[in-house]
Amino acid sequence: MDEVLEIVMNRLSSSPREVIQRSYLDNEGEFDYISCGEMGISESTFRRIKLEALSILATALGLEVIKDQAKEVVC
């Protein structure tokens, strides 16, 4: 699994890779506002990049569940 994660991380562009690296791999416990300040981006941009990168990683690793958009009617 580590090899697959490394391959997927290497396919991310630089900003998403740095966001994931800072959020989960390097500075565990560091607040996002510190990382985004060091990167020179707003917190909302940081969160958007993080969400998109996590979605890419989850999909590539087969971890994301995609729900059907059709609504079920319960009587």
- In this structure, what CATH number is given to the domain that contains residue 22? 1.10.10.10
Contact 46, 36 (CB under 8 A): yes
Query: Using one digit for the tens of pLDDT, what is the confidence trace for 7-64?
Result: 888 989 999 999 999 888 886 677 888 998 999 999 999 999 999 998 888 888 888 5
Q: Is residue 41 part of a domain?
A: yes
Half-sphere exposure of 4 (CA within 13 A, CB side): 9
71 part of a folded domain: no
Q: Is residue 19 one of the residues assigned to a domain?
A: yes
The dihedrals phi and psi of 49, each to the nearest 5 degrees, come to: -60, -40
What's this model's pTM, rounded to 2 decimal places? 0.74
Cα–Cα–Cα angle for 24, 45, 11, rounded to 5 degrees: 55
What is the extent of the structural domain holding 24? Answer: 2-60
32 found inside a domain: yes
- Predicted confidence at residue 74, as pLDDT, reads 46
